[in-house]
Amino acid sequence: MTAPKPWVGAALFFPGAGSSADHPSLVAIEQALAPMAVHRRDFPYRRQGRRAPDRAPTLVACVVEEAARLAREARVARRRIVLGGRSMGGRICSMATAEGLPAAALVLISYPLHPPGKPDRLRIDHLPALAMPCLFVSGTKDPFGTPAELEHHTAVIPGPVTHVWVEGKGHDLRGEDGFIAATVAQWIKGPWSSARSA
């Protein structure tokens, strides 16, 4: 198996708003990236047993804190950590990097471009600040953003962008944990820029 790029030393992933760090796809990604140091972390509201997510500044602060913790424990520079996660988890990681948190790359699974049925409420203001490689893995029937919408709006990202489409799947990408994990592992260990579908 191809080794990770030398500038990738660890990975940190967060779940979507309604799930935990034990989500099967995040567990599968951790296993696929072994023996790389991988941390799966919940946001504060989840750890405290609350259902409603904290406001964005609190979530971003959590990403920054957990990245620093992983850097210490894995003994790698923060700029060598791949950040990302599912839905809100990935979006918050992208916001943290846009605000200055160093990262080797971003893995954005089911990126929530806009709320379902509200394409005018775009979550894109920070995208032009993403200078690192970005992987987007999304279903072709995701109500949070169509392939055409995602490709159009992510074109402003200055770093290399890879889109992987999962045909016929919605936001939850149900039943695709193995494919997601293999895609993430291959992308981290292989070329940055290769768009494909499944």
DSSP per residue over 75-96, as a string? T--GGGEEEEEETHHHHHHHHH
Cβ neighbours of residue 192 under 8 Å, at least 6 residues apart?
105, 133, 160, 162
What strands lie across the sheet with 105-109, from one edge to the other? Answer: 37-40, 10-14, 81-86, 105-109, 134-139, 161-166, 196-197
Residues 148/141, Cβ–Cβ less than 8 Å: no
Q: What pLDDT, on a 0 to 100 scale, did the predictor assign at position 190? A: 74
Q: How close are the terminal C-alpha atoms of the chain, in Å? A: 21
Q: Residue 28 is which amino acid?
A: A
Give the distance, in angstroms, between the CA of residue 118 and the centroid of all CA atoms in the same chain.
Answer: 22
55: tokens are 């406001």
Q: What pLDDT, on a 0 to 100 scale, did the predictor assign at position 192? A: 52
Q: What pLDDT, on a 0 to 100 scale, did the predictor assign at position 191? A: 60
Burial of 72 (0-12, 13-18, 19+ CB in 10 A): exposed
Cβ neighbours of residue 169 under 8 Å, at least 6 residues apart?
139, 140, 141, 142, 176
CA dihedral 39, 135, 3, 185 (to 10 degrees): 60
What helix, strand, coil percent values describe the chain, rounded to 5? 35, 15, 45
Question: By three-state DSSP, how is residue 163 classified?
Answer: strand
Domains of the chain are: 10-197 (3.40.50.1820)
- What CA–CA distance (Å, rounded) separates 143 from 145? 5
Q: What pLDDT, on a 0 to 100 scale, did the predictor assign at position 5? A: 59
Q: What is the pLDDT along the chain (198 residues), one digit of tens a residue?
A: 344 455 789 999 999 999 999 999 999 999 999 999 999 999 999 999 999 999 999 999 999 999 999 999 999 999 999 999 999 999 999 999 999 999 999 999 999 999 999 999 999 999 999 999 999 999 999 999 999 999 999 999 999 999 999 999 999 999 999 999 999 999 998 765 444 444
